[in-house]
Amino acid sequence: MPDKVVKVSPLFQARRAGVLLHPTSLPNAHSFFQSKPYPQMHGALGKDAYLFVDFLAKAGLSVWQMLPTTPTHADLSPYQSVSAHAGNPELISIDWLVHHGWVDGNNDWQEASASLENLKKIRSECAVQFYERLADSHHLQTRLQEFIANNQYWLDDFVLFMALRKHFNQLPWTQWPAELIKREPQAVAEYKKLLEKDISVYVFEQFAFAEQWNQLQHYAKSKNIFLFGDMPIFVAHDSADVWAAQHFFNLDEQGNALTVAGVPPDYFSETGQHWGNPHYNWAAMEADGFSWWIDRLRTQLNQFDLIRIDHFRGFEAFWEIPGDSKDARGGQWVKAPGDEFLTACFNAFPDLPLVAENLGLITPEVEALRHKFNLPGMLVLQFAFDGNNKNPHLPHCHSLSDVIYTGTHDNDTTVGWYQSLNEDQRLLVRNYLYQSDQPINWLLIESALSSVSPLTMIPLQDFLALDGEHRMNMPGTTGTNWQWQFTWSQFPEDLETQIHSRIYRYDRLA
């Protein structure tokens, strides 16, 4: 156990409610100016993010939960990132940069179509303009120097990794020259010099993200809105994290994964899920005092007031799939040093504000580990109505150590979920919920808000009564996930009032 009793986060010391919405799901229709906003592929840390904070405050909601904000691969999944520390440059608001005088902007930018390639080009041009005027701003120079110094523990490896990926046409690092796979010092130094220009662009992007994030975070705090982040248990194989610390992962001499992560068949997939993330070399991590994880937590704590650990059960035992297998069903459970790991984390950060994602195949051992460290877990109302009156997701089974959701980013929307049920299943839901005839989204929202549990999180889609066409992710599938965006026109005029009256009714005006 840690040296002192683990405290519960202050966010659980009063009844609260919040919204689950990833920043990419924000609209991109507002400009800081009266002129046309600069093109964005999806939501960003611009004016709409501030408008959303205003909406939360007016509605009486006090927590904004989002998915990981790290850079994604081409599939856009925030759970397969090229870095566990970096900010996603696609969230950078070009409009913000112009508004704050970092760049002059360009009329051609406003006319450009919103594509990933165009946005990369615009960000590169922004970097050139930024560095050209940096000499005239002592304040920006100081801020940039402080950012680089404070983040050196991950930034140097990340910007070099990204420059190398670009240089080698986005090939994974296991297909780079052998001297770079092995990170031979002479080769690393030579490529740092060769790729200096690209490296400077990636430094600019991370600085811009950090400054925009810090400003939004400060604004949210001024409105008494807490930010709730999400930390995947695993990292992508093709990432700066694995390339830079290969000894902490279960890899062969060429950097290939010997075993990979996933889950056996479950609610979401009859054949299980093959994630492909390399497993950790837990023995090496423990021998090093779990420093890799402590650094990762430090980054998250700089951004968030509360952190969800995705797939918490993997700290008790993880599903190990052979690296050359494409079928998750060929895996096996392997014990992990969860007790030692969490002890080290809480000794480093005694007030570490964690929530354990304890969904899926959860054993008594997993729950014992969670309770030993006083970690709140998650309950989802969509999982509650299977006819078992002892189902822990049912409202009468909730406790003071739970976070209640109508659904998560992996679930269908509440309206979509209800539409997918047969008549008997719908009757089961209605009978439990007092045979109420109010719309199903509000019925589940009120059930969540009335729970004894101190924190309730509602996906924005449920407040907007949107159907399954608006879900964020369908686990086990690719192609259309992670792309949903709302529009302000979807908000009923009285939505803030509707939410606020219910927040007050269930004593969640924290």
Nearest to 273 by CA among 257, 282, 256, 260: 260
Pure H helices in 169-195: 178-181, 185-194
Q: Which domain holds residue 245?
A: 10-102+215-375
**Above 60 in pLDDT, residue 430?**
yes
Nearest to 25 by CA among 488, 498, 345, 393: 488
- Alpha carbons 170 and 175: distance in angstroms, whole number: 10
Nearest to 260 by CA among 269, 245, 249, 268: 249
Q: Phi and psi (nearest 5°) for 163?
A: -65, -40
**Above 80 in pLDDT, residue 266?**
no
- Judge whether 225 lies within some domain: yes
At 469, is the secondary structure helix, strand, or coil?
helix
**Above 80 in pLDDT, residue 163?**
yes
* Chain centroid to CA 374: 22
Higher-pLDDT residue of 477 and 309 is 309
Asked if 410 is an active-site residue, the reply is: yes
Q: Describe the strand order of the beta sheet including 402-405 as a list of residue ranges.
A: 354-356, 306-309, 226-231, 63-65, 16-20, 455-459, 402-405, 377-380
**Above 80 in pLDDT, residue 390?**
yes
- Alpha carbons 479 and 75: distance in angstroms, whole number: 7
pLDDT, tens digit (0-9, with 9 covering 90-100), for 352-364: 999 999 998 899 9
- Name the pTM for this structure: 0.96
- Residue 5 binned pLDDT confidence (cut-offs 50, 70, 90): low
Q: How many domains does the chain have?
A: 1
Asked if 423 is an active-site residue, the reply is: no
Element (H, E) at 461: helix 460-463
Higher-pLDDT residue of 37 and 171 is 171
Nearest to 251 by CA among 223, 284, 229, 211: 284
- Residue 67 binned pLDDT confidence (cut-offs 50, 70, 90): very high
Higher-pLDDT residue of 348 and 35 is 348
Residue 368, domain CATH: 3.20.20.80
pLDDT value at position 338? 98
Average pLDDT on 392-396 reads 97
Query: Residue 254: exposed, middle, or buried by beta-carbon count in 10 A (0-12, 13-18, 19+)?
Result: exposed
Average pLDDT on 15-33 reads 94
Catalytic residue among 310, 412, 462, 496: 310
- Judge whether 421 lies within some domain: no
- Beta-bridge mates of residue 380: 405
pLDDT value at position 271? 81
Flag the least confident range among 5-9, 100-104, 344-348.
Answer: 5-9
**Above 80 in pLDDT, residue 175?**
yes
At residue 300, what is the residue type?
Q
Question: Which tokens is 69 given?
Answer: 């904000």
Answer for the pair 263, 48: CB distance below 8 angstroms, yes or no. no
Average pLDDT on 443-456 reads 98
- Alpha carbons 11 and 375: distance in angstroms, whole number: 12
Question: Which tokens is 361 given?
Answer: 């195949």
Flag the least confident range among 86-100, 300-314, 318-332, 397-411.
Answer: 318-332
Report the chain's mean pLDDT, rounded to a whole number: 95
- Alpha carbons 135 and 198: distance in angstroms, whole number: 20
Our CA dihedral for 379, 336, 65, 150, rounded to 10 degrees, sits at 160
Q: What percent of the chain has pLDDT over 70?
A: 98
Question: Which tokens is 498 given?
Answer: 């509707």
Catalytic residue among 54, 156, 410, 446: 410
pLDDT, tens digit (0-9, with 9 covering 90-100), for 318-331: 999 999 988 899 89
pLDDT value at position 265? 84
Flag the least confident range among 110-119, 123-132, 300-309.
Answer: 110-119
**Above 90 in pLDDT, residue 272?**
no
Flag the least confident range among 5-14, 359-368, 431-440.
Answer: 5-14
At residue 331, what is the residue type?
G
- Judge whether 191 lies within some domain: no
- Judge whether 244 lies within some domain: yes
- Judge whether 93 lies within some domain: yes
273: phi > 0 → left, psi -120 to 50 → alpha, else beta; which?
Answer: beta
Average pLDDT on 38-62 reads 95
Nearest to 236 by CA among 266, 212, 205, 261: 261
| 306-309 and 273-278 strand pairing | unpaired
pLDDT value at position 37? 87
pLDDT, tens digit (0-9, with 9 covering 90-100), for 458-502: 999 999 999 999 999 998 788 889 999 999 999 999 999 999 999
Query: Residue 435: exposed, middle, or buried by beta-carbon count in 10 A (0-12, 13-18, 19+)?
Result: exposed
Asked if 310 is an active-site residue, the reply is: yes
- Judge whether 120 lies within some domain: no
pLDDT, tens digit (0-9, with 9 covering 90-100), for 202-249: 999 999 999 999 999 999 999 999 999 999 999 999 999 999 999 999
Average pLDDT on 104-118 reads 88
- Residue 7 binned pLDDT confidence (cut-offs 50, 70, 90): low
Q: Phi and psi (nearest 5°) for 378?
A: -120, 140
- Alpha carbons 114 and 187: distance in angstroms, whole number: 37
| 63-65 and 226-231 strand pairing | parallel
- Alpha carbons 31 and 452: distance in angstroms, whole number: 41
- Judge whether 266 lies within some domain: yes
At residue 6, what is the residue type?
V
Answer for the pair 30, 471: CB distance below 8 angstroms, yes or no. no
Find all residues with CB under 8 Å of 209, minimum gap 6, and list them.
45, 86, 87, 88, 89, 91, 92
Catalytic residue among 357, 412, 462, 496: 357
- Residue 6 binned pLDDT confidence (cut-offs 50, 70, 90): low
**Above 80 in pLDDT, residue 438?**
yes
- Alpha carbons 427 and 92: distance in angstroms, whole number: 46
- Residue 78 binned pLDDT confidence (cut-offs 50, 70, 90): very high
- Residue 116 binned pLDDT confidence (cut-offs 50, 70, 90): confident
- Alpha carbons 124 and 192: distance in angstroms, whole number: 18
- Judge whether 481 lies within some domain: no
